[in-house]
Amino acid sequence: SVPRNIDGARITRFERAFGPVNGDITFRLPLNTPTSRHEGDQGEEQDREQAPAIRIIVLNSMNLDGPIRSHTDHAATIEHLNNMMSTSTDVGDRSVATLLLTHIPLYKESGLCADAEFFDYFPSSHGGGVREQNMISQELSRRAVLEGLYGMHFDAEGSAAGMGRDGLVLTGHDHVGCDVMHYADVY
């Protein structure tokens, strides 16, 4: 039998039940503003920018690492990730917290939890590509998510002292169950 993987039919079925595999929505706390303001006033725009918010980003982590089986799905995920990076607030803005929802967890050092990094691949006779993994690769976890999406970096003199944006990553594939605090200097 042919091994199963994430494909267009499975993505469609998932999206019908749960929503987009790549998406985002921002929930902003409404502020009480004086009734003397009129729509379009600068004050109203400033209130919206200052109001505390949670930005929820859904990321299809099932096709980030390579070799890639579906270049179309991979490209859609990379485009979404790049869009999320380019539309994020400044790293030092503490009014917005980013909540990343992803199926596969970020990289964890071996021994930190019960499981070590694991990748299994489809045979080339079945198109190759990642068949199974228990965490996103170290490189993509660091560059795409921690540095790119959360703005973490090694320069303590930089924005937010290198600590990045406020936020949390929630995953569903960590079968062992493990809480990990990610810092820019762990890699």
- Residue 177: left (phi > 0), alpha (psi -120 to 50), or beta? left
pLDDT digits (tens, 9 = 90+) for 75-99: 999 999 999 999 999 998 999 999 9
- In Å, how far are 96, 100, 109 from 150, measured between CA atoms? 11, 10, 19
Cβ contacts of residue 97 below 8 Å, gap of 6+?
Answer: 53, 54, 55, 165, 166, 167, 168
Q: What is d(CA 102, CA 2) in angstroms, rounded to the nearest whole number?
A: 26
pLDDT digits (tens, 9 = 90+) for 10-58: 888 989 998 999 999 999 988 765 554 555 556 555 555 578 999 999 9
- In Å, how far are 1, 73, 132 from 125, measured between CA atoms? 12, 21, 17
Instruction: Give ∠ CA 71-72-75 in degrees, rounded to 5.
Output: 80
The larger pLDDT score, comparing residue 161 to residue 26, is at 26
